[in-house]
A and B are shown apart, each in its own frame.
Chain A
């Protein structure tokens, strides 16, 4: 297991380094001079000279990357030009909000996706299967920001049951926090639920066709017990692995969901930074996302290997 871990780490680290190079190189895409682009509206030659010196803009690209990467390793993601704050501090402030949203969304996805997938595998080819597949297709096709708008129209504008926006910290008031998070979590979890359903269905179909399930049935074990006690635990492995990978998807989706519901998280930070032309913050958010994704990938691999020793040789 240790050797497996070492091999996976040996793959993950270069991937992260390469991803950081790509993210750093993004600033080369800025039209015109990087220093003027970074200062935005400001045209004061002194400011531009300051920026030029601060970001070593007179140096060639690899040298600038080395400065930046060195900073990133020390936890220094640069400074937000607009907010006059270190980017790392901004991210640490916003991250808990998005993590809460992502975890709630994952709960929604599991609560909808797994039972639906199990049901459609057990009732394969029957009406319940068709309905579940239809719901999954709907979940995959509906843009989540539109779903958010529709929910606001119904539950906030028409019925007045839930707040359309306005985040409250769970430490201030848990009930208000949850009231504000219900709709964003549902919207964000909806698309993942569809993916979960499809994978649960496929995994369950594989397990339900295996010999030991047939044996259990032949022994006279009740169908419900076969499904839940014999089949589901074995189908759970790919579902857990997928769940970890879908977290990256959640971070993507959070950008739009947070925008629709004005949730002050990671995604909102990124969009605001894009509009303020605050490129250090954009890069910081993207590199954190990539690092999270790589870490989750690694965790998913290790989890799968821990459960299934055969995978350790891969």
Chain B
């Protein structure tokens, strides 16, 4: 895990210059891009992610109709020129709801993973670097959290917090935190054993400086890959919670919630089930493709 400083820059984290031990290869960013570009599937993932984000951000300008406006002439209306994806059970435009639904899905994916990283990274750093009883306590807590399957924990948390999109994000983020604690801890321990960290210590750097300046930039690639793949899992989790009625509340659109309603009209209006599911699938696939490509491009040792 010593792919070097420049990768940290691609993660938007200012890398320290001239730190001892960090490999200062000129053009590593270019090399990274070259490796990523060599993977058409990763680029496809990145492009789809970009388009979905644009769709979510500019939803009010793209969507042909108000996503919550009902139209009695379009109740379970078949796909037509006016409504390409058809109408739902109260005549809302399915296409507009899909476009606005991207906000709930991508928002939940990004926010919950941001929460999981912001909790898991410091705790993992602390456990991995401090060692001793602190490590013991954090690791046991992580084991206990990991013993409860991700989705079951998220459902239980959402159940106790109460059904809403924000609570679903919190529930998913908390459920994913343990993965990041464990990954960060393992990465920190691997990097801390390397010679340049020993050298930094010998030079009299304080522990916090070693942890943040010398170790953190080197573990960013692994965290970044895990975060991308976890966004995919979080999008499925948000859709699952909304499907169960524990996420986005009606009438606000969410792909998972749309599928829940669609289930009751399968024989009359199958399009109500096709499009939201396809959207979830596409979003998850895009993050998975990009995450897999990122992993291969960032860590040459793992390449098959």
**DSSP majority for the B interface?**
helix
Given contacts A14-B140, A19-B148, A286-B152, 18 further A-B contacts (CB under 8 A): A19-B147, A23-B148, A141-B288, A142-B281, A143-B236, A145-B239, A149-B277, A157-B270, A251-B152, A255-B155, A256-B244, A271-B155, A275-B245, A282-B159, A286-B153, A289-B152, A293-B147, A297-B147
B277 x A290 contact (CB < 8 A): no
A22 x B145 contact (CB < 8 A): yes
Q: Tell me if B141 counts as interface (CB < 8 A to partner A).
A: yes
Q: Tell me if A146 counts as interface (CB < 8 A to partner B).
A: yes
B176 to chain A, nearest CB (A): 13
Q: Tell me if A186 counts as interface (CB < 8 A to partner B).
A: no
Question: Which 7 residue pairs across A and B have the least CB separation, nearest first?
Answer: A146-B277, A18-B144, A141-B285, A252-B149, A252-B151, A29-B160, A19-B144
Per-residue A-contact encoding for B274-299, CB less than 8 Å = 1, 0 else: 10110011001100110010000000
A141 x B240 contact (CB < 8 A): no
Given contacts A249-B149, A256-B243, A274-B246, contact A146 B280 (CB under 8 A): yes
Per-residue A-contact encoding for B141-180, CB less than 8 Å = 1, 0 else: 1011101111111011101111000000000000000000
Given contacts A153-B273, A279-B160, contact A143 B284 (CB under 8 A): yes
**DSSP majority for the A interface?**
helix
Which of A22, A146, A205 contacts B144 (CB under 8 A)? A22
Q: Tell me if B262 counts as interface (CB < 8 A to partner A).
A: yes
A153 x B144 contact (CB < 8 A): no
A259 x B244 contact (CB < 8 A): yes
Given contacts A146-B259, A293-B147, contact A31 B239 (CB under 8 A): no
Per-residue A-contact encoding for B228-253, CB less than 8 Å = 1, 0 else: 00001000100110011110000000
A145 x B243 contact (CB < 8 A): yes
Query: Which of B148, B259, B281, B304 gathers most chain A CB within 10 Å?
Result: B148
Which of A15, A140, A146 contacts B140 (CB under 8 A)? A15
B26 to chain A, nearest CB (A): 32
B240 x A290 contact (CB < 8 A): no
A293 to B266, CA, bound (A): 35
Contacts of A145 in B (CB 8 A): 239-240, 243, 259
